[in-house]
Structure 1
Amino acid sequence: MNSHTPPSTREAALIDALALYQARFNAIVSNTPGLVYQFVLGADGTVSFPYLSEGCAALLGLGAAALQQEPRKFFGLILPEDSRAYVDSMHASAGALSSWNWEGRIWVDAWKDVKWINLRSTPRRLPGHPGSVQWEGIMTNITASKLAQLEVTDSRAGLAELTAHIEDVKEQERTRIAREIHDDLGGNLTAIKMALAMLARRLPADQPQLADKAAYVDALVDRTIEAVHRISLDLRPSMLDFGIVAALEWQVGEFEKQMGFACSFTSSEKDIDLGADHAIALFRIFQEALTNIAKHAGATRVTVALQRRRHHVALTITDNGVGIAAGDRQKPGSFGLRGMSERARALGGTMALSRAPGGGTIVTIEVKLTAAAAEPHP
């Protein structure tokens, strides 16, 4: 068939079908937000864009023809601090032939502005070109959503910082109140007890009812002294002065006496230097965990383990109770678990919940050590 021979009916049908498919493809691409593209990485490191949709100029500030002529201009748009991640993700996708998903910032000179973009594409080997990979995918402008995400992240960071500050202020106030209760109120009660003892010795022997009243007041003073001691310990346990290990071990013993069932504590070391603020915060998280067990778990055994690792300490609390359902964590008013998690996060750590073998719950709190405490032991 020469150039003047009209196409056959079959050929004409194929041409019409191809034109129809092309029209459909163009319609889909033109209505797709972002830039539809093909990108090729050659075996020798060269790059090219065999196809770029009309969204190129709107997204990148460069016309498709200009970018196809100088494909390395795209890499030049990427901010230096994001370029390494772009290259690494590209080579990882090419090596494993896995989806390429990258987001980063570009400088659009046409508008003198920075944009966040996301590219998603699928790679395949390029037939007839050993070692070359071609991607088909789409680039989209995610600036609005990314800025909103960063704003939320900043808000959460600010909230965590505020939470940590509030907790510090609360602990300082607790320490002050505990000291005043112990020193002032405790001292006054001790003086009253001594005065009562002196008066009791001088009571007439023929008035036993006065002796009974004196004994009653003396017993009342004793109970008040015990209450003062208990309140002082709740506000600021003096065992924290001996370190986190001693404080946790003491609290486990107190919890065992309160609940009436077996509680055990083990530590990988006799003492772990967490620093005063971190020690108090970890101790408060631990107290909240025990409170949750007492209120909700229905447990008959609790095991507590403290372990020092290279850069953090891990506190694990295991009970054999009814466990925590996934929905329990999202219940309105479920501030105990949220508070524990926020406190752990404020310390640069994490809190995780998992199901214990045979039933019950495992609470794992990991807290970063300070730089000095994380140094190897001599």
Structure 2
Amino acid sequence: MDTPVRKRSWDVYTLLYGQRRVLEQIATGAPLKETLLSLVGLIEAQAQGMHCVVLLADETGQRLEFAAAGPGLPEGYKAEMQPFLRIAPDLGSCGTAAYLREPVYAGDVSADPRWSGCREVALRHGFRAVWSTPILSDDDTLLGTFGMLFREVRLPSDEHVQLMEMATQMARVAIQSSQDQERLRAEEEKFRLMAENARDLILLTDSAGRRLYQSPSYKSLYADPAEMIGANIFDALLTDDRPRLEKNFAAMVATGVGQRVEVRLRDKNGDLRVVQAEASPIRDATGQVTSILSVGRDITEERRTQEALREREELLRIIVEHAAGGIAIADLSHRLMRANPALAALTGYSEAELQGKSIFDFMHEDDRAPSLYLLQELLDGRRGRFEVEKRYRRKDGRTIWARVTVTLVRGAEGEPRYLVALIEDVTERRESQRALERSARELQALSRRLVDVQESERRNLSRELHDRIGQNLTALNINLAIARGALPPQGDQEAVARLDDSLDLLDSTAHAIADVQSELRPPMLDELGLAAALEWYGRQFSARSGVAVSLVAHEPDMRVAAQVEIALFRIAQEALNNVAKHARATAVEIELRCPPGECVMTITDDGVGLGATENPTDEGRFGLGMMTMRERAQAVGGEFRVESLRGGTRLSVRVPR
């Protein structure tokens, strides 16, 4: 029996009213299932014996799922049809319509080949005809299907087709609106999570500047951001900043063009903060700016850091520009990135000429290879810095000496960045040093000459004492002895006594002159060598001072150069005199060793030693004697050293043989 769609004006009014109700549900964001049920009820009301169903495509796009059905559709039918809700050709009306993306009208399920796999389910529940149309989105994406089921065999009339098209369009709008709302809710939730967990300051205002939303991160500025909702943003600005920012805000509302702005604010503690924000206008459907979204960050510390960095850079610039020494900053290829005026004056080039020049361009050619090696050690991390004196050639061709300290500056990751060199002109210092060295050599030569002259005078004086005065004293002794023997035994007793006294005085004088001769030039030094002379002098010193002197000579018969022997002997004499004057010692040991190539003499006493703060070579303590010993050692190319021991002093002399 054919059941036509109702055509009465009441039915048309009911249809229009139902459409309006469904559209209101869509507009107000009612749940999709409620909206689709209203739509199904509306369509079913247009014809008796018609059952409607809406199926939605799942996320995979491979199956359909029941979304809404009229109350007359058996639950058993829906359950038994679940396995057959695949999107495929020849699988019922809905699966085939979804696959082909075109309407499918199965007027007789029992004879339609597309129902061969599932007709038993339909027939068992009394459905003889099933029509289905695909629901496609604006971009032709499959959303689902809208189906009509009948309990009698039939094909759709034009009115049925129009009704299905209307139902399909309304279902499309409802489904797309629901999906859009779901996406919007997801985006809003994402925005909420981002805003509430972001460190950035997020602010939404209307076109008049009233606060609509503030992220929780605003707590760094205000006690509770929620308390500020509805307040005008300009009320929180500093007086000096308000006109500028009001003008910027008005321009964004008028033009719809965003801006980057900086705002100074007082936080909840009254401290001044600086916020940098990207402000973006938001337009409505008509293109009118309705709100402004600002995403900012507190750059107060960054600005303080920048200001501190700027001050440090300015300070560094002043230091570099006014430094007395040259300062060079070079890249890793050794080319100058910056040179200060002092370096320009040192090299004779202008600062502009130095820019980009290799540091090797004005380095002395003999110093380039060693410098390159040291620089490579810096780059390899084998050293952190190096200091060296090298030569440079000025622009005018003159060679100068400079003391250079080079440091490698590395980045945050430890990578080499650039080289910094401090360059000091030491030409005058080196010339002065060479002059001092020449003077020292001349003084040493003069000292050696004086020692030679002194020893020569001592030798000559000793010889004169022996040859002239000694012979005269001997002759005088003989004459006095003859005169004494010529007196009669019973002669003038006073004359006899005077002659005897003169003979004794003459003998004492002869011994004194002999001692002076030995002091001037011990005969055994020339005849028997250094060891014998030291042993003799030690006995003489012990007899005079009461200090025991022992000699340990490892090569007693070894002879060395006469200059070395006399130098060591004179040093020993002076050392023993110092012991007698200062050490308060009871014993002295002299050790003499002459291995191949050198002679070493060590003199050790058991006296009071030296003070911990005293310099053993300081003339203030030992006077001319210590300086003389040192000069005598240096005169023969030797080394002189004094050590303070626990309970004594050790003097050592090391000279070449």
Q: TM-score, normalised by structure 1?
A: 0.82
The equivalences for 1:42-57 within 5 A come to 47-49=334-336, 51-57=338-344
Measure, in 1, the Cα distance between the counterparts of 2:540 and 2:374: 54
Shift of 1:324: 2.8
**Retained in 1: the 8 A contact 2:563–2:636?**
no
Shift of 1:322: 1.6
The equivalences for 1:3-14 within 5 A come to 8=276, 10=299
Read off the aligned partner of 1:71 and give its amino acid letter: S
**Retained in 2: the 8 A contact 1:312–1:368?**
yes
The equivalences for 1:218-297 within 5 A come to 218-241=503-526, 242-297=528-583
The one of 490, 505, 512 aligned to 1:206:
490
The one of 327, 338, 352 aligned to 2:641:
352
The one of 113, 119, 124 aligned to 2:398:
113
The one of 442, 464, 479 aligned to 1:158:
442
Shift of 1:92: 7.0
Query: Tell me, what secondary structure is at the counterpart of 1:187?
Result: helix
Read off the aligned partner of 2:433 and give its amino acid letter: Q
Gaps of 5+ in 2: 1-258, 263-275, 277-297
1:173 maps to which residue? Answer: 457
More moved, 294-303 vs 140-149: 140-149
Aligned length: 359
Measure, in 1, the Cα distance between the counterparts of 2:375 and 2:485: 92
Q: Deviations over 1:255-274 (max 9, x none)?
A: 22222232111123124443
Measure, in 2, the Cα distance between the counterparts of 1:332 and 1:291: 14
1:376 maps to which residue? Answer: none
Please tell me whether residue 60 in structure 1 is matched to residue 347 in structure 2: yes
Read off the aligned partner of 1:233 and give its amino acid letter: S
> Are residues 114 and 265 of structure 1, via their aligned partners in 2, closer, same or farther at CA, if it must alter by over 3 Å?
same
Measure, in 1, the Cα distance between the counterparts of 2:370 and 2:543: 56
Measure, in 1, the Cα distance between the counterparts of 2:546 and 2:578: 16
Which of structures 1 and 2 has the bigger CA Rg? 2
Q: Deviations over 1:188-209 (max 9, x none)?
A: 1112222333333322011262
Measure, in 1, the Cα distance between the counterparts of 2:417 and 2:453: 59
> Are residues 255 and 177 of structure 1, via their aligned partners in 2, closer, same or farther at CA, if it must alter by over 3 Å?
same
**Retained in 1: the 8 A contact 2:579–2:585?**
yes
Q: Deviations over 1:44-76 (max 9, x none)?
A: xx65555544443222234566666452634x6
More moved, 134-143 vs 28-37: 134-143
> Are residues 5 and 273 of structure 1, via their aligned partners in 2, closer, same or farther at CA, if it must alter by over 3 Å?
farther
More moved, 271-280 vs 327-336: 327-336
Q: Which has the higher helix share?
A: 1
Q: Deviations over 1:308-358 (max 9, x none)?
A: 24443221111111223316724288111112122222222221111123x
> Are residues 296 and 64 of structure 1, via their aligned partners in 2, closer, same or farther at CA, if it must alter by over 3 Å?
same
More moved, 139-148 vs 173-182: 139-148
Shift of 1:233: 0.9
**Retained in 2: the 8 A contact 1:40–1:49?**
yes
1:148 maps to which residue? Answer: 432
Please tell me whether residue 32 in structure 1 is matched to residue 323 in structure 2: yes
Read off the aligned partner of 1:28 and give its amino acid letter: I
Shift of 1:226: 0.6
**Retained in 2: the 8 A contact 1:78–1:105?**
yes
Read off the aligned partner of 1:167 and give its amino acid letter: V
> Are residues 283 and 19 of structure 1, via their aligned partners in 2, closer, same or farther at CA, if it must alter by over 3 Å?
same
Structure 1 runs (4+) greater than 6 angstroms displaced: 91-95, 124-130
Shift of 1:128: 7.5
> Are residues 177 and 98 of structure 1, via their aligned partners in 2, closer, same or farther at CA, if it must alter by over 3 Å?
farther
Measure, in 2, the Cα distance between the counterparts of 1:134 and 1:225: 84
**Retained in 2: the 8 A contact 1:299–1:322?**
yes
Measure, in 1, the Cα distance between the counterparts of 2:623 and 2:496: 52
Measure, in 1, the Cα distance between the counterparts of 2:488 and 2:373: 95
The one of 306, 312, 318 aligned to 1:21:
312
**Retained in 2: the 8 A contact 1:118–1:141?**
yes
> Are residues 160 and 90 of structure 1, via their aligned partners in 2, closer, same or farther at CA, if it must alter by over 3 Å?
farther
Q: Deviations over 1:242-291 (max 9, x none)?
A: 22222222222222222223211112312444322222122212211111
> Are residues 84 and 208 of structure 1, via their aligned partners in 2, closer, same or farther at CA, if it must alter by over 3 Å?
farther
The one of 71, 74, 81 aligned to 2:358:
71
Q: Deviations over 1:158-214 (max 9, x none)?
A: 222212211211111111111010111111111222233333332201126233333
Measure, in 1, the Cα distance between the counterparts of 2:323 and 2:376: 27
Q: Deviations over 1:4-54 (max 9, x none)?
A: 96784837666555443322221111111222234577xxxx655555444
**Retained in 2: the 8 A contact 1:266–1:304?**
yes
Alignment RMSD, CA only? 3.3
Query: Tell me, what secondary structure is at the counterpart of 2:390?
Result: strand
**Retained in 1: the 8 A contact 2:564–2:636?**
yes
**Retained in 2: the 8 A contact 1:97–1:124?**
no
Q: TM-score, normalised by structure 2?
A: 0.49
2:624 maps to which residue? Answer: 335
Measure, in 2, the Cα distance between the counterparts of 1:343 and 1:5: 85
Query: Tell me, what secondary structure is at the counterpart of 1:213?
Result: helix
